[in-house]
Amino acid sequence: MASKINFMQQQKSALNILIWTVQLLLAALFLLSGIMKLGYPIAKLAAMYPWTGQVSPVYVRLLGVVDLAGGLGLLLPSLLRIRPTLTVWAAIGIIVLMLLATLFHISRGEASVTGFNMIVTLLAAVVVWGRARKYPVYPKAHCRQA
């Protein structure tokens, strides 16, 4: 019985590490993307991502704010244990964003670049599943009461 409990704790710990790793990777991706969309000149962005030169600069900058919010939302609530359910909502927001990005690229005849969006969608779904169901992070107040 003790070995079964130990195995389950190790498995749960490994799952927690996996979820944190996915959160960190996604957060880094969205923070970098947000910084680029907010700070780089549109011409430089357009050289890397042609669509950014073909839409309104305001649209690109707004997406930069959305990306930053998503990246911060994936990390800070869980890391600080202040309203950690916001991490789940941030991941849901990223799923919606990636589905809309996929539709955007398909509408422009760029279906070949949507694979990346689908991978990000699946990784965000792992965060939703992991933090909402399998290994939630509890607020500080909850941990003190336990």
Q: Between 140 and 123, whose confidence is greater?
A: 123
For 12-33, how does the pLDDT look when each residue is reduced to its tens digit (9 = 90+)?
A: 788 999 999 999 999 999 999 9
Q: At residue 54, what are phi and psi to the nearest 5 degrees? A: -110, 5
pLDDT at residue 102 tops 90: yes
Q: What DSSP character marks residue 133?
A: I
Answer for the pair 125, 72: CB distance below 8 angstroms, yes or no: no
Question: Which range (33-37, 49-53, 62-66, 140-144) has the least confidence?
Answer: 140-144
Give Cα separations from 5 to 10, 19, 97, 146 (angstroms). 9, 21, 39, 20
What is the model's pTM?
A: 0.87
Return the amino acid letter for 123: L
pLDDT digits 0-9 by tens, 29-45: 999 999 999 999 999 99
